Structure 1
Amino acid sequence: MGSVTKKSKVNVAETLYAIVDIETTGGSVSSSRITEVAILVHNGNKIVTRWSSLINPEMEIPLHITALTGIDDAMVAKAPVFAEVAEKIYSLLKDKIFVAHNVNFDYSFLRGQLATCGQPWDAPKLCTVRLSRKLLPGLHSYSLGKLCSQVGINLKDRHRAMGDALATAELFSMLLSNDTEGLIAGMLRKVSPEQRLPANVPSTDFAALPECPGVYYFHNQKGKVIYIGKAINLKKRVASHFTGNNTTLRRQNFLRDIYHISFERCGSELMALLLECTEIQKHWPLHNRALKRFEAKFGLYHYVAINGYSYLAVGKLSKQQGCLKTFDNEAEAVRFLADKSSFFGVDTRFCRYGNAAVFQTELPLPNIDEHNLNVEKLLNEIDESVQQFALMLEGRDQNEKGIVWVENGEVYGMGYLDNSLDGDLNQIKEHLTKCRSNYYMLKLVVGFADKFPHKVLYPIISAQRQLA
């Protein structure tokens, strides 16, 4: 038989693995430090080298960390700082497969602290959480302590580096013996997207993602949606969440919380954007923060005072009071009111420009009927600028089209309809899913209509005036 080169096959029994566990002062690579390291060199059959050391983190160890690990400031006071053992750590990790339970945590800390010591290092990784889910399916929990208890591994010195590393090594040996189909070798032959996934996310979830526009959902362990995003290419966008060098505590907690990925296909980027907006409003996921920035904050109001005169006023939006128009900011609203009041001859004494001072004059007040008529003309123009229109967009396949319906200045609804409904506007409207419209969604749709007028089912008159 001819020999097989290493490029075509990985012999796991001849590969050296560095099985690692660390203890730290916290969860953030940027603001926390390592307090203990244990490295076991494993040749695919047994442990051949053991090394561990406490590390002086050069910062105080928080009390809750001491309560968890038993490592306090006094224990590390005379221990070496990381720079003093960096060369030793590098020599043990160099040219080996890096193995750890929830591998990205240990890997990111060691990679970051080695880099600060002038030791750039990169290595292929194996996560015993992910491997256990595949090779030991159906267990209640895959945390190290509970997993060891379920498979009969005696875990001593929990939350100390050497104790956890020894348990991980025994677990890894068990996984190697259970790997009858060459799963580990297959993962090492190539840099698989699965290797980049958070430890708790099933690879089948990622594999199911299509390369098309849509909305994706990240769920926590209980199934609750914790993040919603939109994408032009679902698979590519989701993968981007799990790459890069962002090692902040918030990102690490975010990745650790993800247990499941689901998605909804869309026919176009605009439909994905609108669905993302409606779904965020529906779920308000823990890790979505950006959408609130795009909401309108000011409005134009009309009221009739006890003296019978009509007034126009710029003010902050209120859930209890409807307004004529909404605006991104106060300056935009004031500018609109100033321009329109001048054009229609509305006396500025009957306009309230937010926090701006009201112009005063000794001139007599205008005739009440003439003044109110001028205000009415202004209001009529605002009403006339709010047109109803619909957009025809790409469907999810050739047999359907996407529809977005705007009515009375709001996104009424959207959906996908088969081509048999073409041209029947009333029937189209009945088949749409109603939306909880907001300013940001309307701005997206009107901007799209102005940019792509051939997508509009029937003409709209100066669509941009709705947001002027």
Structure 2
Amino acid sequence: MYAIVDIETTGGHASASGITEIAIFIHDGEKVVQTFHSLVDPGMPVPRHIQALTGITDEMLEQAPQFKDIAKDIFEILEGNIFVAHHVNFDYSFVKHELERAGYSWQSKKLCTVRLSRKVFPGFPSYSLGNLCRQLEIPIENRHRAGGDAAATVLLFEKILSNDTNGAIELALKAGSREQVLPANLPAAYLLDLPAVPGVYYFHNEKDKVIYVGKAVNIKKRVQSHFVGTNIGPQRQGFLRNIYKITYQVTATELMAFILESIEIKRLWPEYNRAQKRVEAKYGLYCFEDQQGYLRLALERKRKHMKQILGCNLYIEGRNRLIQLVKQFNLCHKLCYLQSDLQPCSGRKEQTCEGACEKLESPGSYNKKVLDAIAFVESGLQSYIILDQGIRLDHKSCILVEKGSFYGMGYIPKEDALDDIETVKSQLIQYPDSEYIMHLIQQYANLHTNQVIQY
């Protein structure tokens, strides 16, 4: 027996929204044998845009039962039947959540009429319920109401039953089938094609835009994990509604997958990635020449297109390091922007500044000290290569850090010597550096010193 269900709700995910209407048609494979229909008080206001779409208003729900009041009836009518709906995971997540809140433990096999329609009626431009009804000449009344949409889904399901010559329903219900958990709009072929190796994967929406980027030690296993369980939060529900395609990039190692994921999130800014989309609050020490010919050191927020001498997480951390350099190399507080008032240079008082701010020290003399300070800083920044296995047996993976910053990564032939760093760099893809990436690399280098080559 099949329970063909449609619900209306106050929002897009069960954890923060409620059901406002539910309709259930029990179908024996030939005809409808039982029905259930009710408005439901969701315990929260119905947003205006949803009122406009469904016609269900707060006033209509004032006398409606809460879900807990009808949970026993719903549980009994659903128990033992196959749950059928258009975009089944959406309806199923809401009903299961509400039944559990009412004290009922329930689960069911599921059939999605979107996925089944794609298999039984291939080639349609759209598989929304409205468009399918137009394509298949199914009458649909009371659109965007549970009763009307459920009745149309019954007629759609009957057409699927009568045209399912390749056993799509049987395959979807088969034990171990991924059909019941996959997003409605994602062809199963994408999952079958995924490799069981490290790399980065991309979820695309209907317009082919990347909406999520993830990393994995095993791409196939990690992608499958997104669709397991009944998570009612907005992240998973967003996946279920919007994933139409999966692509991927293979990497040789887990570390390269971690790095590439961070790079791609910053490049693509996907809708459903959260953690690494925040802007890094990072500062850099920069050098430039002023109109008088003096080299100036300045601590500023990180600039994309200007090479920094030194990076730091906190402004106070960078300022303290700059003060140390000023004292150690007899630089000027004012020319290093450590003092901006009109008072005499405090470095003159402390006998560290030799008068560059008052033109008592020539640009040539002062600039030599600045360059010595820069050389001192750079001498403490490590340059090294991390080598590991390659994707191909005749190659090895290579991650390059140059003067304390991530340069790039790629693959080089196993027999290549590493004495010419410019040749190595020419074979790598250069990527933008970030604090997060350097943290990953430094952690790995500290734990795997046998794979690190200093240069």
TM-score bracket for the superposition, by shorter chain length: 0.7 to 0.9
Partner of 1:96: 81
Matched, 1:391 2:391: no
Range with greater deviation from structure 2 (162-171 or 408-417)? 408-417
Partner of 1:87: 72
1:31 equivalent among 5, 8, 16: 16
Q: Could you tell me how far apart the structure 1 residues matched to 2:288 and 2:28 are?
A: 81
Alpha-carbon distance, 1:265 to partner: 1.0
Range with greater deviation from structure 2 (148-157 or 389-398)? 389-398
2:141 equivalent among 156, 169, 184: 156
1:454 equivalent among 423, 438, 450: 450
Matches within 5 A, 1:113-152: 113-152=98-137
Alpha-carbon distance, 1:232 to partner: 1.0
Q: Could you tell me how far apart the structure 2 residues matched to 1:354 and 1:118 are?
A: 67
Alpha-carbon distance, 1:354 to partner: 10
Alpha-carbon distance, 1:346 to partner: 6.1
2:441 equivalent among 418, 438, 445: 445
SS in 2 for 1:75: helix
Alpha-carbon distance, 1:306 to partner: 8.3
CA distance change for structure 1 residues 316 and 422 in 2, over 3 Å: closer, same or farther?
closer
SS in 2 for 1:196: coil
Letter in 2 for 1:29: A
Partner of 2:195: 210
Q: Could you tell me how far apart the structure 2 residues matched to 1:177 and 1:213 are?
A: 43
Alpha-carbon distance, 1:71 to partner: 1.6
**Contact kept in structure 1, 2:172 and 2:178, CA below 8 Å:** no
Q: Could you tell me how far apart the structure 2 residues matched to 1:150 and 1:305 are?
A: 71
Q: Could you tell me how far apart the structure 2 residues matched to 1:297 and 1:375 are?
A: 23
CA distance change for structure 1 residues 92 and 217 in 2, over 3 Å: closer, same or farther?
same
Partner of 1:414: 409
Matched, 1:239 2:224: yes
SS in 2 for 1:415: strand
Matched, 1:403 2:390: no
Partner of 2:354: 367
1:167-186 Cα distance to aligned partner (Å, 9 max, x none): 11222222223333433223
Partner of 2:358: none
SS in 2 for 1:122: coil
CA distance change for structure 1 residues 382 and 447 in 2, over 3 Å: closer, same or farther?
farther
Partner of 1:265: 250
CA distance change for structure 1 residues 288 and 380 in 2, over 3 Å: closer, same or farther?
same
Unaligned runs of 5+ in 1: 1-15, 461-468
Partner of 2:261: 276
Residue correspondences, number:
442
Partner of 1:464: none
Q: Could you tell me how far apart the structure 1 residues matched to 2:240 and 2:323 are?
A: 49
1:220-240 Cα distance to aligned partner (Å, 9 max, x none): 111121221211111122122
Partner of 1:326: 311
The percent of aligned pairs where both chains have the same amino acid is 43
Task: Please report the RMSD computed on the Cα atoms of aligned residues, expressed in angstroms.
Answer: 3.1
Alpha-carbon distance, 1:26 to partner: 1.9
CA distance change for structure 1 residues 332 and 231 in 2, over 3 Å: closer, same or farther?
farther
Matched, 1:196 2:181: yes
Partner of 1:435: 431
CA distance change for structure 1 residues 417 and 302 in 2, over 3 Å: closer, same or farther?
closer
2:93 equivalent among 108, 113, 127: 108
Letter in 2 for 1:451: L
Partner of 1:169: 154
CA distance change for structure 1 residues 359 and 283 in 2, over 3 Å: closer, same or farther?
same
Q: Could you tell me how far apart the structure 2 residues matched to 1:434 and 1:117 are?
A: 56
1:37-71 Cα distance to aligned partner (Å, 9 max, x none): 11111122221111111122233222221221122
Letter in 1 for 2:25: L
CA distance change for structure 1 residues 359 and 200 in 2, over 3 Å: closer, same or farther?
farther
Alpha-carbon distance, 1:351 to partner: 5.9
**Contact kept in structure 1, 2:265 and 2:277, CA below 8 Å:** no
Q: Could you tell me how far apart the structure 2 residues matched to 1:416 and 1:303 are?
A: 36
**Contact kept in structure 2, 1:294 and 1:440, CA below 8 Å:** no
Alpha-carbon distance, 1:362 to partner: 4.8
**Contact kept in structure 2, 1:17 and 1:42, CA below 8 Å:** yes
**Contact kept in structure 1, 2:26 and 2:35, CA below 8 Å:** yes
Letter in 1 for 2:389: E
Range with greater deviation from structure 2 (313-322 or 169-178)? 313-322
Q: Could you tell me how far apart the structure 2 residues matched to 1:359 and 1:120 are?
A: 74
**Contact kept in structure 2, 1:296 and 1:440, CA below 8 Å:** no
Alpha-carbon distance, 1:296 to partner: 5.1
**Contact kept in structure 2, 1:314 and 1:353, CA below 8 Å:** no
**TM-score w.r.t. length of structure 2:** 0.86
Letter in 1 for 2:379: E
